[in-house]
Amino acid sequence: MEQRGTRNGQGADVAGRMPVFRLGRFADQGDGGNREKFESLPDERQEAIVNAGVELFGRNDYKNASTDAIARKAGISKGLLFFYFKNKKEFYLYLMERLMDKMTDLVVDDGFYEIDDFFELMEYSAHKKKDVFEKMSPFMLDFSIRAFYPEHKDIKDTMDGWTQAQVDLMFSRFFKNVRFDRFRDDVSPRRVLDMLIWMADGYLHQQRCLKKPIDIDALMDEFAEWCAMLKAYAYKEEYR
């Protein structure tokens, strides 16, 4: 697990970097596991278990992702996996939190906070996320898409509610430097963010219905077109 710098009272670390924001946690994660003990393991042991979970949940839907196979892939016993995480659901939700934290760390960098244009920031973030998907586990994209479209009753309500909450937190925390005065007075920046999310959702849903693999380069091209289209609609004429 990444080592964090010591933070001062204002939230920035002692090296003067921007604070690392954490997105919301799952409210229904109860007691029973030993996550602290898991996070005290050597980095390579943690990564082996996390990567095994991401791979099996990425290859399979939630129901068919076997915890026996995850433990075997990680080189541990199933009993030890459930010592750290009380059940399959808790492990799954932990993986989602951990990957979102890592994504945030890698996307929200110094360059991120130098951008004050809404659409430039959206495209910058999209390309940084693409880089993360390509550099990390090859199963991370599949895991993330399955998490975005949960079907199993054990996680559906939790994931649906959590996903929407992340949008609210993201908008309030990560858009503070954006110049919203560039938007037309009758256009809500938050509504435009929702539109971009709906477009991406529709694209992914269509690809899934057609049983086509997600081409992340094609998705980036589409996203750039959506941003250009919405910028022409949402911005005041002098900022288009």
Q: Which of the given ranges, 26-40, 41-55, 148-162, has the highest pLDDT on average?
A: 41-55
Would you call 122 exposed, middle or buried from its count of C-beta atoms within 10 A (0-12, 13-18, 19+)? buried
Q: How far apart are the first and last CA of the chain?
A: 42
Q: How distant, in Å, are the alpha carbons of 124, 158, 170, 171, 215 from that of 212?
A: 26, 27, 29, 31, 9
Mean pLDDT in residue range 98-110: 89
Residue 29 has pLDDT above 80, yes or no: no
Task: Name the pLDDT band for 25 (thresholds 50, 70, 90).
Answer: low
Return the higher-pLDDT residue of 72 and 103. 72
Distance, in Å, from the CA atom of 47 to the CA atom of 199, rounded to the nearest integer, reads 33
Give tens-digit pLDDT for 136-154: 878 998 898 888 887 788 8
> 191 falls in which pLDDT band (50, 70, 90)?
very high
Alpha-helical regions (H) of 19-176:
35-39, 43-59, 67-74, 78-84, 88-107, 110-113, 118-135, 140-148, 156-174
pLDDT of residue 35: 87
One-letter amino acid at 186 equals D
Tell me the range of 30-34, 115-119, 154-158, 210-214 where mean pLDDT is highest.
115-119
- At residue 12 the predicted structure's pLDDT band, cuts being 50, 70 and 90, is very low
Residues β-bridged to residue 183: 235
Mean pLDDT of the 71-88 span: 95
pLDDT over 50 at 5, yes or no: no
Residue with more model confidence, 113 or 2:
113
Q: How confident is the model at residue 58 (pLDDT cuts 50, 70, 90)?
A: very high
Q: Can you give the pLDDT at residue 15?
A: 37
Flag whether pLDDT at 162 surpasses 50. Answer: yes
Q: Work out the percent of the chain whose per-residue pLDDT is above 70.
A: 86
Residue 11 scores a pLDDT above 80: no
CA–CA distance, 150 with 182 (Å, rounded to integer):
37
Please state the rounded mean pLDDT for residues 230-238: 97
pLDDT at 136: 80
Q: What is the pLDDT of residue 31?
A: 54
